[in-house]
């Protein structure tokens, strides 16, 4: 198993191997940073050109004419994306960005009242989510030091379900958690956490930025209240591409906390009345005019996910990360690396986390050697072999390169300090 020949045989047997040709790949590099920014696919590029062609051909009439009328694109893409999150018709929309959508949803669902004023989050979440929660609490004229609860981690990398449930006290009005922890790649038990929250009369939402396109979801089945995410990681929608969100159909009648003209019922939007008549589905939680050029690549990217299915993607992803961990344990045992992500398949997302005191300079050495990792301060190395375009052979070569870097201490020529963008 720990041989190059085994890796090549796995690639030959891989039914997804053909999709590698769909992406623009530098064969002189091993790109293991798809959990931060997915690579450009030829279909995404073609979809972008298609929208630009519609702009050139139709001008303003592109809003209602052509293959992908822009006026309905946020909803139509959302309905295509709902299989990735396990949603029902009308519950998903492609719109906004991760943090904008989070602000929209929290402003809608966080309605503190006497005795129930707190938001429950965690200490391991991505900073932007915490900034947003603090600002939403401030907008209610409350103090986040008192009204934001953050679940502690026992080891600095993972969370325990029991610790989260124990913080679901009577004074909690809303829970917002990541589906996958961005550092360690731990998959939280969304179904159990949702059930426990609802037992206590608490609404709950999830940030799916590191899980959508990497693992299957069943948001509607689990009765999750809302979710939001970016589309530029595993979904390969391009840098800063338009985000997405989910609202459970139970909440369709709820007035959006942050209204805008794209919150409107589409048949009445151009009546131009000053009284909002919101859409009857998740479309009501849009705010402004969609950014078509940032949405366009998602059209092409989704086509591949529809063909492959999340089951096959998850199966290969687990094999890739499992193989990577196995090689690290057998080949790098002398170099003081610690695997900090969960080992169990049901708890491991689409990347692994290595901890090393020299992580920043090791990442620089990896990049010089042609491996693109992701450094996370203070001492984390994230490696993400992506099912649609990475190979078992690349996993093998990555570990061999890392072993050579450690053996020859070539990392020591770099400063152990992150760059401006880690």
Question: What's the length of the chain?
Answer: 422
Q: Tell me the C-alpha distance between 402 and 328, whole Å.
A: 9
Q: Tell me the C-alpha distance between 269 and 29, whole Å.
A: 49
63 marked as part of a ligand binding site: no
207 marked as part of a ligand binding site: yes
Token pair 């829970």: residue? 175
Q: Residue 375: which of 386, 391, 361 has the closest Cα? A: 361
289 marked as part of a ligand binding site: yes
129 marked as part of a ligand binding site: yes
- Spell out the SS3 assignment of the chain: CCCHHHHHHHHHHCCCHHHHHHECCCCCCEECECCCCCCCEHHHHHHHHHHHHHHHHHHHHHHCCCCCCHHHHHHHHHHHHHHHHCCCCCCEEECCCHHHHHHHHHHHHCCCECCECEEEEECCCCHHHHHHHHHHHHHCCCCHHHHEEEECCCCCCCCCHHHHHHCCCCCEEEEEEECECCCCCEECCHHHHHHHHHHCCCEEEEECCCCCCCCCCCHHHHCCCEEEECCCCCCCCCCCCCCEEEECHHHCCCCCCCCCHHHECCCCHHHCCCCCCECCCHHHHCCCCCCHHHHHHHHHHHHHHHHHCHHHHHHHHHHHHHHHHHHHHHHCCCCCCEECCCCCHHHECCCEEEECCCHHHHHHHHHHCCEECEEECCCEEEEECCCCCCCHHHHHHHHHHHHHHHHHCHHHHCCCCCCCCC
98 marked as part of a ligand binding site: yes
117 marked as part of a ligand binding site: no
Token pair 């010089």: residue? 368
126 marked as part of a ligand binding site: yes
φ/ψ region of 59 (left if φ > 0, alpha if ψ in -120 to 50, else beta) reads left
210 marked as part of a ligand binding site: yes
**Binding-site residue positions for pyridoxal 5'-phosphate:** 98-99, 126-129, 207, 210, 232, 261, 289
Per the annotation, where are the binding residues?
A: 98-99, 126-129, 207, 210, 232, 261, 289
């Amino acid at each position: 198993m720990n041989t190059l020949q085994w890796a090549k045989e796995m690639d030959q047997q891989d039914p997804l191997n053909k999709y590698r040709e769909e992406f623009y790949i530098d064969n002189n590099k091993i790109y293991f940073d798809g959990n931060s920014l997915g690579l450009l696919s030829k279909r995404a590029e073609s979809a972008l050109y298609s929208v630009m062609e519609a702009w050139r051909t139709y001008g303003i009439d592109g809003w209602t004419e052509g293959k992908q009328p822009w006026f309905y694109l946020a909803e139509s893409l959302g309905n295509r994306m709902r299989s990735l999150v396990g949603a029902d018709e009308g519950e998903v929309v492609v719109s906004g960005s991760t943090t904008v959508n989070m602000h929209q949803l929290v402003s809608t669902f966080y309605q503190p009242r006497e005795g129930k004023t707190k938001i429950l989050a965690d200490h391991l979440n991505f900073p932007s989510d915490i900034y947003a929660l603090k600002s939403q609490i401030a907008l209610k004229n409350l103090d986040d030091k008192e009204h934001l609860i953050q679940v502690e981690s026992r080891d600095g990398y993972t969370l325990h379900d029991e610790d989260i449930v124990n913080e679901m006290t009577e004074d909690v009005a809303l829970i917002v958690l990541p589906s996958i922890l961005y550092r360690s790649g731990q998959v939280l038990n969304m179904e159990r956490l949702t059930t426990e929250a609802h037992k206590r009369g608490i609404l709950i939402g999830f940030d799916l930025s590191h899980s959508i396109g990497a693992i299957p979801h069943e948001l509607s089945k689990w009765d999750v209240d809302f979710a939001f995410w970016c589309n530029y990681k595993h979904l390969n929608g391009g840098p800063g591409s338009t985000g997405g969100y989910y609202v459970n159909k139970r909440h369709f009648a709820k007035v959006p906390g942050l209204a805008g003209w794209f919150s409107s019922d589409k048949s009445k939007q151009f009546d131009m009345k000053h009284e909002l008549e919101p859409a009857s589905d998740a479309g009501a939680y849009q705010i402004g005019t969609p950014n078509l050029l940032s949405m366009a690549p998602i059209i092409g990217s989704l086509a591949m996910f529809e063909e492959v299915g999340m089951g096959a993607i998850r199966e290969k992803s687990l094999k890739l990360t499992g193989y990577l961990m196995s090689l690290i344990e057998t080949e790098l045992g002398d170099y003081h690396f610690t695997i900090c992500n969960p080992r169990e398949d049901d708890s491991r997302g689409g990347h692994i986390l290595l901890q090393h005191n020299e992580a920043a300079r090791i990442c620089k050495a990896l990049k010089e050697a042609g491996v693109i990792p992701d450094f996370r301060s203070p001492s984390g190395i994230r490696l993400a072999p992506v099912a649609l375009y990475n190979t078992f052979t690349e996993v093998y070569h990555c570990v061999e390169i890392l072993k050579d870097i450690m053996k020859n201490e070539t990392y020591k020529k770099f400063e152990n300090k992150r760059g401006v963008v880690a």
